[in-house]
Amino acid sequence: MVLSFKNSTIFNFIKNITEKLFHPEHLYQISNSTYTIHQDIASSLYVPRFTFSKYSRVLVNKNSKSTRLFNGEMFTVRNTNSIENRVISLDVTLDSTQETQEFEPDLVLGSDTKSWKIEFQIQPAYALTYHKSQRQTLDPVFSARRKKSSSSHVSCGNQRPM
């Protein structure tokens, strides 16, 4: 696990780790989809967020209504259900309980009821900000921190011994 102060650093780590760990043909795309009906014309917008593969570590980044998982919970992807590499649902094993369950995206209705979103409230978890890592017990941790940082004792306080 890599810890850092900034989200931009985290996303660069995640992209590099994913590209090095997994073969491109084994990668799937997590995306958000928005659907709109305006004057009887339907349209859709597909926004890719990140790629992942089987055995990827993932973090819930917003409480999920459909699966009852909470912000900060981590899990490992066991199986992916997809159409043309667009993910429909995931089979995941929770780190906290080792329970395997299906994880589906949330349906978010627009205020005008003529638009809706389908979105996965998750992010890759090979690298986290210090804030997101609070109250986590993590296996080997690498800290990407500034030279003059007084928070190193906090960032590594709950690391398991190697």
Report pLDDT digits (tens) over 134-148.
555 555 554 555 555
Q: Give the three-class secondary structure for 38.
A: strand
pLDDT class of 79 with cuts at 50, 70, 90:
very high
CB of 51 closer than 8 Å to CB of 89: no
Q: Is the pLDDT of residue 94 over 60?
A: yes
Mean pLDDT on 147-159:
50
Mean pLDDT of the chain: 75
pLDDT class of 3 with cuts at 50, 70, 90:
low
Contacts of residue 131, Cβ cutoff 8 Å, sequence gap at least 6: none
What is the 8-class DSSP label of residue 152?
H
* pLDDT at site 155: 47
Pick from 135, 132, 159: which is nearest to 5 by CA? 132
Contacts of residue 75, Cβ cutoff 8 Å, sequence gap at least 6: 57, 58, 60, 69, 92, 93, 94, 95, 103
Q: What is the distance between the alpha carbons of residues 100 and 129, in angstroms, rounded to a whole number?
A: 26
Q: Is the pLDDT of residue 20 over 60?
A: yes
